[in-house]
């Protein structure tokens, strides 16, 4: 009886292994011998084969070069191992395109970064020749140590629906939810180099394999999620504690400043966008500021905003009543080029993403977008009084409300005579009506403990 039971267990184990093998269905994109089913796009860097590996070699005075699959893929799980010269930059293109009507055929689309430099953004997600960085590792700095210089590194990329997730040597690195491109080729990049750098540096690739059937996503991780879908709260964000501060449809949870109802005019809700309507020159704002009904202490607030030419607005937090005026710390939203307020204050402390009239935001060119484009912003307030302002995946400002430096800068601001300003333990969140057309969406918040 015992022997029959053991045989039965062995049969179950064998069936399970067979089922897992069948479900996995890995396909090797590189056969280890030649580059059949691959093509070179872009520049003139070279690709060769040696010892069952693809070797990409840099060439001077040529654009980024890509070894691309002939076939396009939509949903997949991709694994690849690579060994790169520490002085190079490279990447893995996924769901990428090359079309004559887009920059004369320039390769564009999602790229999973290979970055052996001290910046250490390997595994981050870049939008090649299109939107720039979507998920850099400043958003998840713990993953910066995952990449190993002068060693083989294993990448895993899961592209399923709108979700793109990356792992590096088994460590979760990035999670992007985005709907820009649903299908495209996979490509291995050799980055361009300036004439001042020596040519001939190499990156090696091996074990390039893909699953396209019976896909099973990896278990959820607790890393930061970038979600560009308007007013969408993903399952992963919910698990992290986020909720929509505005649902994209109703004005629930918001009132006009110092009132119990939402403004009857001056604010427009349409197609999932909350917009301040532009007033007539010389006339007061039509609707006035709006605030949350609830007060918040420590939190992470994510929001999208879009500026029109010359517009001014802001998101205020720790908002309280100071002698009849609702005041709070402000994430400045401003057209720096066309609005005069950008040149006022002290050393740029009234410019975009600054702590208005107190601390200037760092100007990072890659974080700046044109008017009419959506920006992703974040205000992060920790329980220990540390505060951060983020703009398009870059941290542009940080300060400590309990520090001597903050108190000194506050003493030079327009709020220096307002007793207690900037130190309230909690407060409402306010969106400013400055009489200019500014739009908002995807307002999400999670409270920090």
Position 5 scores a pLDDT of 42
Position 1 scores a pLDDT of 46
Whether 154 and 291 share a structural domain: no
Residue found under tokens 């210089």 = 149
User: Which H or E element spans position 13?
Assistant: helix 2-24
Residue 9 maps to a domain: no
How far is Cα 195 from Cα 60, in angstroms, rounded to an integer? Answer: 6
Whether 280 and 244 share a structural domain: yes
Point out the domain boundary residue: 211, 226, 241: 226
Read off φ and ψ for residue 234, nearest 5 degrees. Answer: -75, 165
Side-chain-facing half-sphere of 124: CA atoms under 13 Å: 27
Structure tokens of 398? 């940080």
Residue 88 maps to a domain: yes
Structural domain harbouring 145: 25-226
Q: What does the mean pLDDT of the chain come to? A: 93
Point out the domain boundary residue: 202, 226, 250: 226
Beta strands in 98-139 (DSSP E): 108-114, 125-128, 132-135
Tell me if 45 sits within 8 A of 190, measured CB to CB: yes
Whether 222 and 250 share a structural domain: no
Whether 237 and 374 share a structural domain: yes
Position 287 scores a pLDDT of 85
Those residues with Cβ within 8 angstroms of residue 82's Cβ, 6 or more apart along the chain or in another chain: 90, 114, 152, 153, 155, 203, 204, 205, 206
- Summarised one tens digit per residue, pLDDT across range 284-328 is 667 899 999 999 999 999 999 999 999 999 999 999 999 889 999
Residue 17 maps to a domain: no
Q: Count, in order, helices (H) and strands (E) of the chain.
A: 3, 29
Pairing of strands 53-57, 65-73: unpaired
Whether 389 and 242 share a structural domain: yes
Residue 20 maps to a domain: no
Residue 13 maps to a domain: no
How far is Cα 251 from Cα 263, in angstroms, rounded to an integer? Answer: 9
Q: Could you write out the three-class secondary structure of 312-328? A: EEEEEEEEEEECCEEEE
Whether 145 and 287 share a structural domain: no
Point out the domain boundary residue: 175, 191, 226: 226
Provide the domain count of the chain. 2
Identify the segments of the chain with pLDDT beneath 50: 1-22
Whether 206 and 265 share a structural domain: no
Structure tokens of 202? 């190499």
Tell me if 133 sits within 8 A of 111, measured CB to CB: no
- Does residue 342 sit in helix, strand or coil? helix
Q: Rounded to whole angstroms, what are the CA distances from 117 to 92, 190, 198, 288, 349?
A: 17, 15, 17, 48, 32
Sort 199 into a burial class: Cβ within 10 Å, 0-12 / 13-18 / 19+.
middle
Whether 182 and 249 share a structural domain: no
DSSP 8-state assignment for residue 60: B
Whether 108 and 217 share a structural domain: yes
- For the chain, the 3-state helix, strand and coil shares in percent, each to the nearest 5, are 10, 40, 45
Q: How many CB atoms lie within 10 A of CB 439?
A: 19
Whether 40 and 89 share a structural domain: yes
Whether 262 and 129 share a structural domain: no
Structure tokens of 206? 């091996």
Residue 58 maps to a domain: yes
Whether 220 and 277 share a structural domain: no
Nearest in space to 67 (alpha carbons), one of 153, 151, 168, 191: 191
Nearest in space to 307 (alpha carbons), one of 368, 232, 388: 368
Those residues with Cβ within 8 angstroms of residue 416's Cβ, 6 or more apart along the chain or in another chain: 410
Residue 71: which CATH number? Answer: 2.60.120.560
How far is Cα 11 from Cα 19, in angstroms, rounded to an integer? Answer: 12
Residue 15 maps to a domain: no
Position 324 scores a pLDDT of 87
- Does residue 37 sit in helix, strand or coil? coil
Burial 145-177 (b: 16+ CB within 10 A, else e): ebbeeeeebebbbbbeebbbbbbbbebbbbbbb
Position 283 scores a pLDDT of 61
Tell me if 388 sits within 8 A of 379, measured CB to CB: yes
């Amino acid at each position: 009886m015992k022997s029959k039971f053991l045989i039965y267990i062995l049969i179950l184990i064998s069936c399970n292994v067979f089922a897992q093998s069948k479900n996995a269905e890995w396909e090797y994109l590189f056969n280890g011998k030649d580059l059949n089913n691959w093509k070179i796009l872009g520049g003139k860097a070279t690709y060769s084969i040696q010892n069952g590996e693809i070797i990409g070699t840099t060439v001077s005075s040529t654009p980024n070069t890509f070894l691309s699959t002939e076939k396009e893929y939509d949903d997949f799980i991709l694994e690849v191992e690579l060994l790169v010269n520490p002085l190079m930059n490279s990447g893995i293109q996924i769901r990428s395109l090359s079309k004559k009507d887009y920059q004369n055929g320039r390769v564009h689309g999602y790229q999973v970064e290979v970055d052996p430099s001290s910046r250490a953004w390997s595994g981050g997600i870049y939008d090649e020749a299109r939107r720039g960085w979507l998920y850099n590792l400043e958003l998840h700095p713990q993953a910066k140590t995952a990449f190993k210089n002068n060693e083989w590194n294993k990448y895993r990329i899961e592209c399923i629906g709108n979700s793109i997730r990356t792992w590096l040597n088994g460590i979760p690195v990035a999670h992007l939810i985005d709907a820009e491109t649903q299908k495209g080729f996979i490509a291995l990049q050799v980055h361009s180099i300036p004439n001042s750098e020596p040519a001939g540096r190499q990156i090696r690739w091996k074990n390039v394999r893909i699953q396209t059937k019976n896909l099973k996503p990896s278990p959820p991780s607790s890393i930061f999620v970038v979600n560009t879908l308007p007013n969408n709260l993903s399952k992963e964000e919910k698990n992290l504690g986020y909720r929509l501060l505005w649902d994209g449809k109703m004005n629930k949870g918001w009132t006009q400043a110092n009132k119990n109802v939402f403004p009857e005019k001056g604010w427009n809700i349409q197609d999932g966008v909350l917009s301040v309507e532009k007033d007539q020159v010389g006339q007061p704002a039509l609707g006035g500021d709006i605030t949350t009904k609830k007060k918040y202490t420590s939190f992470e607030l994510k929001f999208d905003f879009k500026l029109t030419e010359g517009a001014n607005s802001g998101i205020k937090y720790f908002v309280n009543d100071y002698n009849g005026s609702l005041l709070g710390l402000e994430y400045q939203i401003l057209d720096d080029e066309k609005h005069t307020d950008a040149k006022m204050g002290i050393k740029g402390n009234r410019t975009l993403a600054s702590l208005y009239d107190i601390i200037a935001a760092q100007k990072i060119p890659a974080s700046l977008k044109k008017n009419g484009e959506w920006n992703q912003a974040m205000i992060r307030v920790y329980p220990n009084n540390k505060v951060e302002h983020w703009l398009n995946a870059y941290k542009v400002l940080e300060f400590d409300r309990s520090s001597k430096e903050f108190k000194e800068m506050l003493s030079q601001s327009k709020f220096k005579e307002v007793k207690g300003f900037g130190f309230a333990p909690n407060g409402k969140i306010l969106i400013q009506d400055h009489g200019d057309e500014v739009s908002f969406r995807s307002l999400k918040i999670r409270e920090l403990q």
